[in-house]
């Protein structure tokens, strides 16, 4: 407090926060910099299709090359980091789910770009740690997987997977605390952060809107140079101090956003008139859809009134439609929602309100929104009652593999490793087709694909049956058969032995 001054003289004055030229604002980015790019899918990404946005301005800087891009995703097409791939300015990416960018996936598999694949919750925590002056930390996420072993190559030799590994993955130090395995993860230090916010005042205080927060809050606090692209630049003092997500101390430059926001996947609530429409699917696809709904309907019985639940993409998203009468649950989405509602009507669509699958959603009364760091604290800390996700393979001991096929598919880890990281507190259920498309079993004695988590799954639900998993002793028990399914069929289509509950019931 400064005594003896007029009230108007007490406002701090910062010269140069707001930059009129985006090209000038990015002039200090240099080759070799670590560039943090906020956003989740296309929500909160600080670049759109017009010429006067941050990433578009950087693309003009042909002298800037060999960048390391840090982002949840690797962009898509000409949005996000996709712009810098197309201009060949990025040499390495640190990301959790780059598979949405097919161009990047192809470059990585051909050995033309480096990738440090990182679980989503670990990625945001590595960013938050550096911002808080913490050089490293221990996490259960990724223990006993390829992340701990460093088995995911950072870069293949020129020519790709068949020619071997040029830069191996990074092996992590492991320690035990309280009888559980944890691995050490180093903080990530950014040189420059590009962030998009809703309202920013003239001294850099930032307010985000709905799921616009995601990675943006921790990235803004992390970098040596933080540039914020603001939907609205407002006068100093016009934002409530209670509403600030990022204090101005972290922000160096502000530019005005002018391009419209985009939505990656517009998903609408079915209209009343559509319920009577005849299906246009082939008989084969219609049968497959019926089986997916059968699995979802059975999984819905595991959701109890008042549960906090995280649902993965695919079959899990069908489950809310089959909740039993009187059962109300809180759906958590790892990009920053607790209390997620159904898909919107056309009038309700909001580009700042998406789920973890980048689809448009709504909020229920009592919902809350937060950044990705807060979201994964809920998840790793065991505050979520139930996590339901899909899988490519599950072992009889409860191991799960669902994020990559070496040399062929690099979708990414996303939040899956975090979601299965505390199975004693958060029950993990896998819902999936019983067999792969080629007819081979997906329930196996041992997974052949890289693990997402070891001994984490407690229950497996398919269109054929329900299994309980004894994670401690490594055994499966068949507890239910789906309607019309025989024990012999389940035995023939399951790649491991299992016990059979004495009073086996049919649904």
Burial 136-156 (b: 16+ CB within 10 A, else e): ebbbbbbbbbbbbbeebbbbb
Q: What is the dihedral of CA 162, 168, 170, 171, to 10 degrees?
A: 80
Tell me the CB-side half-sphere exposure of residue 255, using CA atoms within 13 A.
24
Tokens of 374: 């807060």
Task: Give me the DSSP letters along 80-103.
Answer: TTHHHHHTT-EEEEEES-GGG-HH
Q: What is the helix (H) or strand (E) element at residue 285, kind and residue range? A: helix 283-299
Burial 163-195 (b: 16+ CB within 10 A, else e): eeeeeebeebeeeeeeeeebbebebbbbbbbbb
Q: What is the helix (H) or strand (E) element at residue 330, kind and residue range? A: strand 330-333
Specify whether 334 is catalytic: yes
Among 237, 240, 244, which residue's Cα sits nearest to residue 208? 244
DSSP lists the bridge partners of residue 338 as 332, 368
Tokens of 240: 């409530």
Query: How far is it, in rounded angstroms, from Cα 207 to Cα 352?
Result: 13
Among 316, 320, 325, which residue's Cα sits nearest to residue 340? 320
Tokens of 502: 């004495």
User: Which one is catalytic: 105, 116, 302, 334?
Assistant: 334
Query: How far is it, in rounded angstroms, from Cα 32 to Cα 26?
Result: 14
Q: What is the helix (H) or strand (E) element at residue 488, kind and residue range? A: helix 487-492
Query: How far is it, in rounded angstroms, from Cα 169 to Cα 115?
Result: 9
Tokens of 140: 């259960």
Query: How far is it, in rounded angstroms, from Cα 234 to Cα 409?
Result: 45
End-to-end CA distance of the chain: 71
Catalytic residues: 334
């Amino acid at each position: 407090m400064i005594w003896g001054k007029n009230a108007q003289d007490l406002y701090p004055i910062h010269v140069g926060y707001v930059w009129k030229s985006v090209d000038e604002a990015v002039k200090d980015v240099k080759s070799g910099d670590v560039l943090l790019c906020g956003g989740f899918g296309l929500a909160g990404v600080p670049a759109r299709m017009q010429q006067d946005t941050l990433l578009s301005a950087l693309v003009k800087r042909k002298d800037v090359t060999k960048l390391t891009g840090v982002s949840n995703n690797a962009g898509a097409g000409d949005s996000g980091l996709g712009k810098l791939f197309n201009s060949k300015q990025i040499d390495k990416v640190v990301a959790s789910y780059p598979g949405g960018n097919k161009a990047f996936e192809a470059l990585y598999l051909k050995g033309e770009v480096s990738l440090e694949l990182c679980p989503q919750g670990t990625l945001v925590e590595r960013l938050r740690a550096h911002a808080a002056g913490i050089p490293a930390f221990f996490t259960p996420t990724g223990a006993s997987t390829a992340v701990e072993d460093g088995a995911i190559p950072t870069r293949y030799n020129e020519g790709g997977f068949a020619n071997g590994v040029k830069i191996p993955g990074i092996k992590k130090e492991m320690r035990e605390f309280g009888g559980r395995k944890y691995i050490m993860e180093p903080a990530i230090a950014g040189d420059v952060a590009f962030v998009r916010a809703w309202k920013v005042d003239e001294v850099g205080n930032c307010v985000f809107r709905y799921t616009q927060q995601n990675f943006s809050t921790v990235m803004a606090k992390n970098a040596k140079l933080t540039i914020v692209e603001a939907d609205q630049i407002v006068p100093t003092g016009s934002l409530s101090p209670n509403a600030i997500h990022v204090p101005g101390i972290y922000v160096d430059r502000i530019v005005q956003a002018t391009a419209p926001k985009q939505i990656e996947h517009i998903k609408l609530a079915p209209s009343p008139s559509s319920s009577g429409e005849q299906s246009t699917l082939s008989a084969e696809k219609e049968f497959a859809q019926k089986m997916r709904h059968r699995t979802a309907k059975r999984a819905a019985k595991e959701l109890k009134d008042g549960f906090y639940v995280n649902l993965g993409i695919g079959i899990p998203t069908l489950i809310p439609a089959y909740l039993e009468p009187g059962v109300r649950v809180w759906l958590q989405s790892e990009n920053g929602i607790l209390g997620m509602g159904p898909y919107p009507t056309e009038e309700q669509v909001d580009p700042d309100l998406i789920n973890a699958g980048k689809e448009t959603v709504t909020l229920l009364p009592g919902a809350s929104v937060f950044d990705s760091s807060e979201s994964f604290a809920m998840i790793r800390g065991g505050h979520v009652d139930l996590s339901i996700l899909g899988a490519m393979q599950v072992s009889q001991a409860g191991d799960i593999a669902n994020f990559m096929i070496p040399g062929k598919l690099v979708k990414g880890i996303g939040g899956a490793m975090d979601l299965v990281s505390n199975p004693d507190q958060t029950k993990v259920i896998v819902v999936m087709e019983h067999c792969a498309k080629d007819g081979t079993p997906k329930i196996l004695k041992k997974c052949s694909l890289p693990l997402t988590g070891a001994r984490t799954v407690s229950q497996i639900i398919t269109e054929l049956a329900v299994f309980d998993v004894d994670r401690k002793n490594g055994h499966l028990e068949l507890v239910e058969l789906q309607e019309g399914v025989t024990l012999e069929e389940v035995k023939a289509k399951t790649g491991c032995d299992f016990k059979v509950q004495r009073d086996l019931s049919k649904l």
